[in-house]
Chain A
Amino acid sequence: MSDVVVVDYGAGNTRSVRAALTHLGVSSVVSSDPTKISESELVILPGVGSARSAMDHLESTGAAQALRNRFEKGAPILGICLGMQLALEHSDEDGGVDGIGLLSGSVHLLTEGRVPRLGWAMVEPWGDAFYFAHSYAATCPDSVATSEGVTVAVERGAFLGVQFHPEKSGSAGLAFLERCLSPV
Chain B
Amino acid sequence: MPLARLIPCLDVAHGRVVKGVNFVGLRDVGDPVELAKFYSDGGADELVFLDITATPEDSATMTSVVADVADVLEIPFTVGGGVRSVEDAIRIIESGADRVSLNSAALADPSLISAIARRYGSQAVVVAIDAGDGVVHTHGGRVVTSTKTIPWAIEAASRGAGEILLTSISHDGRRQGFDLALTASVRDAVSIPVIASGGAGSAAHVADALRITDAALIASIVHENPAGLPGLRREIQDLGIQLRPMKELI
CB of B247 within 8 A of CB of A13, answer no
CB of A48 within 8 A of CB of B71, answer no
B residues less than 8 Å from A165 (CB atoms): 76
* Tier of interface size on chain B: 35 or more
CB of A116 within 8 A of CB of B162, answer yes
Given A15-B70, A131-B75, A170-B246: A118 and B2 interface contact (C-beta under 8 Å): yes
C-alpha spacing A136/B45, complex, angstroms: 22
CB of A50 within 8 A of CB of B121, answer yes
C-alpha spacing A132/B162, complex, angstroms: 13
CB of A118 within 8 A of CB of B3, answer no
Query: Is B214's beta carbon under 8 Å from chain A?
Result: yes
Within 8 A of B (CB), among A120-139: 120-122, 128-129, 131-135
CB of B74 within 8 A of CB of A170, answer yes
Q: How many A-B residue pairs have CB under 8 A?
A: 119
Nearest Cβ distance between residue B72 and chain A, in whole angstroms?
Answer: 7
CB of A49 within 8 A of CB of B193, answer no
* Tier of interface size on chain A: 35 or more
A residues less than 8 Å from B94 (CB atoms): 11-13, 15
> Closest residue to B243 on the A side, CB-wise?
A120
CB of B1 within 8 A of CB of A113, answer yes
Query: Is B95's beta carbon under 8 Å from chain A?
Result: yes
CB of A120 within 8 A of CB of B2, answer yes
Given A50-B121, A168-B76: A120 and B192 interface contact (C-beta under 8 Å): no
C-alpha spacing A22/B19, complex, angstroms: 32
**What 1/0 mask marks residues of chain B from 62 to 84 whose CB sits below 8 Å from any chain A CB?**
00000100111011100000000
Q: List 16 A-B contacts (CB under 8 A).
A: A13-B93, A20-B74, A48-B93, A48-B120, A50-B119, A53-B119, A114-B214, A115-B191, A116-B121, A116-B122, A116-B163, A119-B2, A120-B5, A122-B3, A135-B162, A171-B248
Besides the contacts A13-B70, A168-B98, what 6 more A-B pairs have beta carbons closer than 8 Å? A12-B93, A12-B120, A15-B71, A15-B94, A49-B120, A118-B2
